[in-house]
Amino acid sequence: MAVNSNPTEPGPFKESLVACVADIADLLPPLSRRYDMTVIISALAEHVGSALKVLLLRHICDARQVRQIIKNIEDCAFLHKPAQLEVQDPEPPASDAGTPDEKKPTR
């Protein structure tokens, strides 16, 4: 698994980061035998969210740093060049007249 971190980060931090990513990757195969991958990723997201809150509350990171971590996650998860979505025109609203084959009850 590739580590997407800032190349200006200090060497020891990046080395620890790479080692930790490898350790976490080793935990995934046994978990995948017990849980669906979306469950695993959702559980990891819960842990990350809680950890970021703790880092903020303990003043280990500020909001700018937490946002950068979240941006790193987004950069890793999504295409770097956003895909163009095809936008379809919404279907026209159904008219009150109905189709010629439909007969409306009269009063």
pTM for the complete prediction?
A: 0.59
Return the amino acid letter for 91.
E
Per-residue pLDDT tens digits for 3-46? 555 545 668 988 998 999 999 999 999 999 999 999 999 999 99
Q: Give the tokens for residue 21.
A: 């990513």
Per-residue pLDDT tens digits for 59-84? 999 999 999 999 999 998 887 665 55
In the chain, which ranges are continuous DSSP H helix?
Answer: 11-34, 37-57, 63-77
Alpha-carbon distances, residue 32 vs 2, 18, 39, 51, 53 (angstroms): 20, 21, 9, 23, 27
In 3D space, the residue among 24, 17, 12 whose CA is nearest the CA of residue 69 turns out to be: 17
Q: Where are the domains of the chain?
A: 11-77
